[in-house]
Amino acid sequence: MRPLFLATTALAAMALSAPASAQTASASGPVRLGLGGYFNFYGVAGWQDDGPGHPGENRHNFDLKREGEIFFTGQAKLDNGLVVGVDVQLEAESCADQIDESYIWFQSRWGRLNLGAENSAAYLLAVGPPVVDASFDGQDPLFILYNRGATNGDPRIGSAGFASTVDFWVPLTSGDSEKITWLSPRLAGLRLGVSFTPDNSEEGTQGGQVQSKGGSFAGMPPDDTETQWSNLVAVGLEYDEKLGPFDVLAGASWEIGFLEGDETQTVGGFTSRYKDRNAWSVGATLGYGGFELGAGYFVDDNGIDCTFVGEACSGSGTQRSWGLGFGYAIGPWSVGVSYLHSVRNRDPVGRAERLERYIAGIRYALGRGVELRGSVQYYDYKAALSALDTENDNHGTFVVLGTALTF
C-alpha cells in the first residue's frame, strides 16, 4: 500500500530512514556509507490572542520555520545472506540532540533487528489518520505554531521523566534511548515488532523524552532516578494489505515503562503519586482510488496516579487524543483536511489542558522528492487552569506556505 498522504509521522520516519541500496564492500569493512535526508522550509503568517498577559502578546505575526536532517546510511549483503546496515541521522541545525537516531541493523528471513538509538516498535508501527503535512499534523509534529503560557509541559514531571505534551499522540516514552528492536517479516499483511529499553537515557543528549545519564561513557546508569521509567517494553502490530479495490493500513501499539525511585515525589510544588507508565494507540486508514480516509486514538497515563490536595489524592496525568483525516490525490496534486482533539488531565483542581486543531491544505509535487506545500491551520487551546482564568488560553489562525525536499 502506498498512502496518498503520510499516514503517520512514524511511517514517515521509517520511509525517511530507510537504508540506502546495497553498497560495494570497502577495503576495511562490508559497508560503505551513502547520504540521504530531508529539509523543510516554511513561511508562516499567524494571528493569535495577543491581549495583555496572553500567550500571543508581543509576538511576531510572520516567521520562517525550517527543519532538516542528513542521513548517513549504508548496507551490505554478506556471503551467508545476512544483510547488515547502519543509520546515523545528523540534525541540520545546532541543537541539544545533535545526533538524532543512530543505530545498526541486521536483516534476514527471520526479520530485522535494530540495535542502538532508535524509536521503539510501538512508534515505528503506529498508524494514525492521513495528514495534510506531517510537519504540523503528524502524530509527532516537527513544529508547534501557536504560543502557550507558563502551563506548557507538566510541572509534576521532573527532568528525568518528561511528560508527553498535548500535541503529541504516539507512544514515545523511550524516545531514542538505546534499545533492541525486532521487526518480523511481513506475513499476509501483518508485521509484529518488539522493543526493550533498559534505561530511559539516550547517550549524549539532554532533550526530548530522555536525559543523559552517562551510560556507555560513565559506568552503569542509576536505577533509582525520581520520576523516570526504565526497563521499557514496547509492542507494535501493523497490517498493510490490498483487499479488492481497497488499500487497508491498520496498527496497534503499546509501551510500558517501570518506575524508578519512590512512588511519591514532590516536583514543581506538586506532591504526586507516580506509577508504571503506559501508553497505547490504535489507528487505521482506508484508501480507494485517489481517496483516503482514516482515524486514530491515543492514551498515555504519563505514569501519574494522582496528586495530593491536602490529605486527598485526586486527578491524574492521563492524556487522551483522537484524530481524523481525509485526503484526495490526482496526478501531482494532493489535498486534505485533518482534525485533532486532545485532552490532558494535569491539575488536580480546575480543568484539564485541551487542544482542538483543524488543518486544510494542498501539496504539489514538482518532481521526485520535491514538494510545494500550503495550508490554513486553526488552533483552540485551553490551559490547565481554573475555568475562570482564561489568560493562558489561546486561539490562533495560521497561513503556511513552504517546500519539502527529500534526498
Q: Note the pLDDT of residue 160.
A: 65
Q: Note the pLDDT of residue 85.
A: 95
For the chain, give every domain's residue range: 9-21+35-406
Cβ atoms of 103 and 215 within 8 Å: the answer is no
Q: Note the pLDDT of residue 18.
A: 44
Q: Note the pLDDT of residue 66.
A: 94
Fold adopted by 9-21+35-406 = Porin (2.40.160)
Using a cut of 0.85, tell me whether the model's pTM lies above it: yes
Sequence-ordered list of residues with C-beta below 8 angstroms from that of 187, at least 6 positions apart, any chain: none
DSSP β-bridge partners for residue 241: 248
Sequence-ordered list of residues with C-beta below 8 angstroms from that of 332, at least 6 positions apart, any chain: 364, 365, 366
pLDDT along the chain (407 residues), means of 10: 40 40 50 92 96 89 95 93 94 80 95 96 97 95 86 69 84 92 97 95 50 55 84 97 96 96 84 94 97 97 89 88 98 97 81 92 96 98 68 91 96
CA-only gyration radius of the chain, Å: 21
Look up residue 142 and give its three cell numbers.
516537527
Q: Note the pLDDT of residue 37.
A: 94
